Structure 1
Amino acid sequence: MARLGSVNKNNRRRQLAEKSASRRDKLKEVIYDKNVDFEARIEAVIKLSELPRNSSATRIRNRCEVSGRPRGFHRKFRMSRIAVRELGSLGLIPGLIKSSW
């Protein structure tokens, strides 16, 4: 099990990114639009840099829903490789068949 503080911090980042996503998108549209005057674009860059860093979606870490493990993450199941193997062997993941040869 991962440290609870790390999991909670990641959850806070996820909520903050979700809350400020539209604002960040609007500012980025202004920044990348070549038809907008230079001063307005610079002002948008400054406003974007004033937003909290944790409101960026790239700061979110994919973590296992079961154990909170950050590595060996399977996006399809939103679980780590270890949890997928354990729950798959028990038959708790629908559609997953354990391979054996």
Structure 2
Amino acid sequence: MARKSLIHREKKRQKLEQKYQLIRRSSKKEISKVLPSSEKWKIHRKLQSSPRNSAPIRLHRRCFLTGRPRANYRDFGLSGHILREMVCACLLPGAIRSSW
């Protein structure tokens, strides 16, 4: 299980990203529309003044149950070993174990 502080930090990043999402999108659209480079730099400074953790690239997917940051499957939102345990226990409909 992941530490509670890391999970809380990730939730805080998600809230910041949601808060600044419209501002970041609109400023990126403005940069693509504006021709003079001096105006682009002004808009770029505005974009850079937003908090670092508001960038969507800083978000990291975590396992829904354990909070594990690695080996996550997007379709299920679970880490690999939890996914395997749930498939073996027949808790995920439609998921099939490989048997070869």
Task: Give the alignment's TM-score, normalised by structure 1.
Answer: 0.90
Q: Which residue of structure 1 lines up, in the alignment, with residue 29 of structure 2?
A: 29
- State the match for 1:53 in structure 2: 52
Alignment partners' CA distance in 1, 2:74 and 2:59: 14
Q: Normalised by the size of structure 2, how large is the TM-score? A: 0.91
Alpha-carbon distance in 2 for matches of 1:91, 1:14:
32
- Of 26-35 and 72-81, the range deviating more from structure 2: 26-35
RMSD: 1.3
Amino acid at match of 2:26: K
User: For residue 52 of structure 1, what is the amino acid of its counterpart?
Assistant: P
Q: Compute the displacement of 1:34 (Å).
A: 4.4
Aligned residues: 100
CA distance in 2 between counterparts of 1:48 and 1:82 reads: 39
Provide structure 1 residue ranges, at least 5 long, that are not aligned to the other structure: none
Deviations 1:37-68 (A, max 9, x none): 33322111111111001000000011100111
The alpha-carbon deviation at position 99 of structure 1 amounts to 2.2
Q: Unmatched 5+ residue regions in structure 2?
A: none
